């Protein structure tokens, strides 16, 4: 029903193309402050133009104070979310609730359950790793800077992750599903596209393409819980917790989020075990699927993940 319900709105294929352009335009518009700051910085002459021309991520990330840089990174996602909402309301005459869930209203208990569960698990795994490999971390906590980081992160990280979820598990999942009249195709397309979106992350350069297993695997996990639960609430909570706790707990010189976090990893990324990439996707995520399925009594897995997208009128009659 989550995919089918979009048929109640204006769901012509061309509207989704225009909506995509509008959402991406929002990203570019809200990137203007960062672009202007870069131009002003370059104008001072106190920069290495060779590194800028080479798109040296580490250098570009270090051009501004970490909290300011973090703000610049998150702003475009906020713009994308705002513009996507405008497209959904004006182009499709669709409500935010209808884009989010098949339920009559957004189930915030689901959002917070996923947020707290994954926040607890990810934090526990990080603290265990710190205790087992203390030589790989340095204590990085500075109260004044951390408070500013926390304010930015708590306000904007959920907007960043919500934009990605509404774009992939919401807008694209519903749009592609109704276009091809199948659920498995949008699951594949949105999951792979979500992973490829992270190709420009500095982690890919440092860890190699094998990290894409994690990104694409995470995309599949988020897509599966959205389809099985007939709504995005669990995905919204999980994704927000993942990025928020990452930003606050641990940073490194080679990650997408370089922040005034509590700890800083000084480990050589080349020494990272493949298991650290494989285990979350093939062990932890399946366990989470099992937990969610027990809590929410999921069934009929094949039909929900790979079945046909039916005409909404036949479902209403049934």
Please tell me the predicted confidence (pLDDT) of residue 255.
Answer: 83
| Beta-sheet strand order (sheet of 250-251) | 137-139, 263-265, 250-251
What are the residue ranges in the chain where pLDDT is below 70? Answer: 58, 315-318
Residue 51: per-residue pLDDT: 78
Q: How many domains does the chain have?
A: 1
Q: CA-CA distance, 4 to 313, in Å (whole number)?
A: 10
> What is the per-residue pLDDT for 317?
53
Query: pLDDT at position 117, please?
Result: 98
pLDDT at 243: 97
Q: What pLDDT does 52 receive?
A: 77
Domain containing 244 equals: 4-317
pLDDT score, position 269:
82
pLDDT value of residue 95 = 97
CA angle 150, 154, 159 (to 5 degrees): 140
What value does the CA radius of gyration of the chain take, rounded to a whole number of Å?
20
Q: What pLDDT is recorded for position 53?
A: 76
Long-range contacts, stretch 130-133, CB < 8 angstroms, 24+ apart: 130/263, 133/267
Counting beta carbons within 10 angstroms of the beta carbon of residue 35, is it exposed (0 to 12), middle (13 to 18) or buried (19 or more)? exposed
């Amino acid at each position: 029903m989550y995919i089918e319900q979009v048929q109640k709105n204006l769901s012509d294929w061309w509207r989704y193309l225009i909506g995509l352009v509008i959402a991406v335009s929002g990203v570019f518009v809200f990137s203007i402050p960062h672009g202007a700051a870069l131009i002003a910085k370059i104008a001072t002459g106190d920069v290495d133009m060779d590194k800028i021309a080479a798109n040296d991520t580490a250098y570009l990330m270090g051009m501004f104070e970490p909290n300011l840089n973090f703000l610049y990174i998150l702003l475009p996602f906020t713009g994308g979310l705002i513009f996507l909402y405008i497209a959904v309301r004006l182009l499709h005459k669709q409500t935010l609730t209808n884009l989010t869930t098949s339920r009559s209203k957004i189930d915030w208990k689901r959002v917070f359950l996923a947020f707290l569960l994954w926040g607890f698990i990810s934090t526990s795994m990080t603290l265990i790793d710190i205790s087992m490999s203390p030589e790989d971390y340095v204590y990085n906590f500075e109260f004044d800077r951390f408070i500013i980081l926390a304010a930015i992160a708590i306000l904007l990280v959920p907007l960043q992750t919500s934009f990605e979820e509404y774009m992939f598990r919401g807008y694209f999942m519903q749009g592609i599903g109704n276009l091809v009249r199948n659920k498995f195709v949008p699951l594949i397309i949105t999951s792979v596209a979500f992973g490829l979106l992270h190709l420009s992350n500095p982690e890919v350069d440092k860890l190699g393409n094998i990290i894409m297993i994690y990104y694409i695997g995470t995309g599949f996990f988020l897509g599966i819980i959205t389809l099985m639960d007939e709504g995005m609430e669990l995905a919204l909570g999980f994704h927000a917790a993942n990025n928020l706790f990452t930003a606050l707990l641990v940073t490194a010189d080679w990650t997408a989020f370089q922040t005034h976090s509590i700890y800083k990893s000084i480990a050589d990324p080349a020494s990272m075990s493949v298991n650290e990439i494989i285990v979350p996707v093939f062990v932890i995520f399946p366990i989470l699927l099992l937990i969610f399925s027990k809590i929410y009594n999921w069934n009929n897995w094949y039909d929900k993940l790979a079945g046909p997208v039916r005409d909404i009128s036949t479902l209403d009659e049934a």
